[in-house]
């Protein structure tokens, strides 16, 4: 009798699961281009590079805020609606909390050993816990305050040095100098890998490292063919694997020897004070008082930390300054706020940032109108689900369109106009309503929102407080456009700078 009940129960469960599966499948896939057998839309993707523009053009042409592009056997779901974004990553966050396995992320993470790019599982949970509770906890953040101040001062010192020559400044290189110097100081305890330039700018080593870093960023989830047809990776048909491998080798050339040396210093007792993130990672212990992280895990996590710290702040400030130079009244308003909150007798400090709402509004508007990438890092659905009335198959890659959200005409008035004044009250850069994707949210949310917000706000505040900005003869502000292959400025912003504070202030940090 008991066996018969078990069999009957199993049969009923099977019937219920079958009906549930049919109910799920009766919902349509999101609209998308016609897919060929086996290869899906890969031929269209290859004919219409870059892929992100092809995807956005399709959505605009067919006036849809959600689309499905089948690439190989993978359903790539793209979203431009804040409402749908919240349904994916708030209501169903647990379902979409994994990451896809791709060639670029496998190489970058040393085989998925990190906190951000690693698919869901025990390793991801371990590394996320370490990053959140050890590396980015408030005590550590506060202990690194002096390092952040040093790099903010170095930024002003460098720009002032350039202003004393011909006054022409590459804003992109300057923003990267600050972001790169700060994250190297936090991770390794040093601003430069080499000696740097006499005027305080990046040296050869930092320039090579920065170029490699941006190359990796531009190819992370870069729609490589092998990400959707894995057996083609050996042929490297689009060259992505070679490009990423070479760029990572350049990054590791400067990073790995420092990590190896530091590990040995702790082992032989020649270092005994934790002064930076690398020291923290090396000294983590498990329940048996053994090292919690292997050297490979440390190297992979350092890679990820450095990659995550550069692009968003540097790009946002370059775009913000470009837009503000197009409309100088915005620069005047920002400078006026700094004069009222900080004055002209000292440099802006982190304690001033909460009161600089117009400065933060300019940053937020740059995040909205000019995001650093076309899509957020993709999420993977762990089960079949229904979102927005559409069937989302298990294994789908779900990607929020950063420009699609930020320029959505159903959300924003005059969406293509740079209007910092639209952000009022106590401005925060993170938007949990996903009308802007400045920082990711949910289980896969950015763990460094506080550090990232401080970096980008301080960068713009110091540049505007310390200097007057005008277009150089090398820049036509009428033709500031996105590059074809990405959505950064097509050409670096070149500006003319002059000091606007008492000369004594610059001498104090010389």
> In b/e form, how buried is each residue of 78-88, taking b as 16+ CB within 10 angstroms?
bbbbbbbbbbb
pLDDT value at residue 440: 82
pLDDT value at residue 20: 47
Q: What is the pLDDT of residues 219-265, one digit of tens each?
A: 999 999 999 999 999 999 999 999 999 999 999 999 999 999 999 99
pLDDT value at residue 442: 82
Can you say whether residue 414 is alpha, beta or left, with left for phi > 0 and alpha for psi between -120 and 50 degrees?
left
Please determine, for residue 16, whether its predicted confidence score (pLDDT) is greater than 50: no
**Do the beta carbons of residue 98 and residue 442 sit within 8 Å?**
no
pLDDT value at residue 475: 73
Domain extent for 487: 2-508
pLDDT value at residue 41: 97
**Does residue 271 sit in helix, strand or coil?**
coil
**Does residue 67 sit in helix, strand or coil?**
strand
Q: Binning pLDDT at 50, 70 and 90, where does residue 208 land? A: very high
Return the CATH number at 252.
Answer: 1.10.630.10
Q: What is the pLDDT of residues 39-74, one digit of tens each?
A: 999 999 999 999 999 999 999 999 999 999 999 999
Q: Which of 121-135, 361-375, 467-481 has the lowest mean pLDDT?
A: 467-481
pLDDT value at residue 25: 58
Please determine, for residue 76, whether its predicted confidence score (pLDDT) is greater than 50: yes
H or E element at residue 145 = helix 145-163
Q: What is the pLDDT of residues 439-456, one digit of tens each?
A: 887 888 888 899 999 999
Q: Can you read off the two tokens belonging to residue 464?
A: 């505007």
pLDDT value at residue 144: 97
**Do the beta carbons of residue 304 and residue 298 sit within 8 Å?**
no
- A 10 A CB-CB count for 106 gives 16
pLDDT value at residue 18: 41
The pTM of the full predicted model, rounded to 2 decimals, is 0.93
Q: How far apart are CA 430 and CA 446, in angstroms?
A: 10
Nearest to 262 by CA among 249, 281, 248: 281
H or E element at residue 299 = helix 295-326
Q: How much of the chain exceeds pLDDT 70, in percent?
A: 95
Mean pLDDT of the chain: 93
Q: What is the pLDDT of residues 124-149, one digit of tens each?
A: 999 999 999 999 999 999 999 999 99
Please determine, for residue 372, whether its predicted confidence score (pLDDT) is greater than 50: yes
Q: Can you read off the two tokens belonging to residue 456?
A: 């980008």
Q: How many separate domains does the chain show?
A: 1
């Amino acid at each position: 009798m008991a066996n018969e009940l078990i069999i009957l129960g199993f049969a009923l469960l099977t019937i219920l699961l079958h009906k549930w599966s049919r109910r799920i499948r009766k919902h349509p896939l999101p609209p998308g281009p016609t897919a060929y057998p086996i290869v899906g839309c890969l031929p269209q993707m290859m004919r219409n590079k870059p892929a992100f523009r092809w995807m956005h053009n399709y959505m605009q042409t067919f006036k849809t805020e959600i689309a499905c592009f089948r690439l190989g056997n993978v359903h790539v779901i793209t979203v431009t609606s804040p409402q749908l974004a919240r349904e994916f990553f708030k209501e169903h966050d647990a379902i979409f909390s994994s990451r896809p396995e791709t060639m670029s992320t496998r190489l970058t993470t040393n085989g998925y050993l990190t906190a951000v790019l690693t698919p869901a599982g025990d390793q991801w949970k371990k590394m996320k816990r370490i990053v959140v509770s050890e590396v980015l906890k408030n005590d550590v953040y506060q202990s690194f305050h002096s390092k952040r101040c040093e790099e903010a001062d170095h930024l002003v010192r460098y720009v002032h040095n350039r202003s004393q020559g011909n006054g022409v400044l590459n804003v992109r290189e300057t923003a990267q100098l600050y972001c790169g110097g700060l994250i190297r100081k936090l991770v390794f305890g040093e601003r430069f890998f080499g000696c740097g330039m006499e005027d305080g700018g990046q040296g050869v080593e930092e320039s090579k490292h920065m170029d490699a870093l941006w190359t990796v960023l531009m190819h992370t989830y870069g729609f490589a063919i092998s990400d959707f047809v894995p057996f083609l990776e050996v042929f490297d048909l689009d060259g992505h694997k070679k490009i990423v491998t070479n760029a990572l080798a350049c990054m590791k050339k400067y990073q790995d020897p420092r990590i190896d040396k530091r590990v040995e210093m702790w082992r032989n007792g020649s270092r005994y004070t934790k002064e930076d993130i690398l020291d923290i990672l090396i000294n983590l212990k498990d329940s048996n008082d053994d090292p919690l992280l292997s050297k490979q895990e440390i190297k992979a996590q350092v890679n990820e930390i450095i990659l995550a710290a550069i692009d968003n702040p540097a790009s946002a400030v370059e775009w913000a300054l470009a837009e503000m130079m197009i409309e100088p009244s915005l620069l005047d308003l920002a400078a006026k706020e700094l004069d009222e909150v900080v004055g002209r007798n000292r440099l802006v400090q982190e304690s001033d940032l909460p009161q600089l709402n117009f400065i933060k509004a300019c940053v937020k508007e740059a995040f909205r109108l000019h995001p650093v990438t076309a899509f957020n890092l993709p999420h993977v659905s762990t089960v079949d689900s229904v979102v927005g009335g559409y069937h989302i198959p298990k294994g789908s890659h779900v990607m929020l369109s950063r420009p699609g959200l930020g320029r959505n005409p159903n959300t924003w008035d005059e969406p293509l106009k740079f209007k910092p004044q639209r952000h009022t009250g106590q401005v925060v850069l993170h938007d949990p309503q996903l009308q802007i994707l400045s920082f990711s949210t949910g289980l896969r949310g950015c763990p460094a929102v506080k550090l990232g917000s401080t970096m980008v706000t301080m960068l713009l505040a110091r540049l505007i407080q310390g200097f007057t900005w005008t277009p150089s003869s090398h820049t036509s502000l009428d033709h500031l456009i996105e590059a074809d292959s990405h959505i950064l400025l097509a050409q670096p912003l070149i500006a003319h700078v002059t000091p606007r504070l008492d000369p004594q202030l610059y001498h104090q940090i010389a």
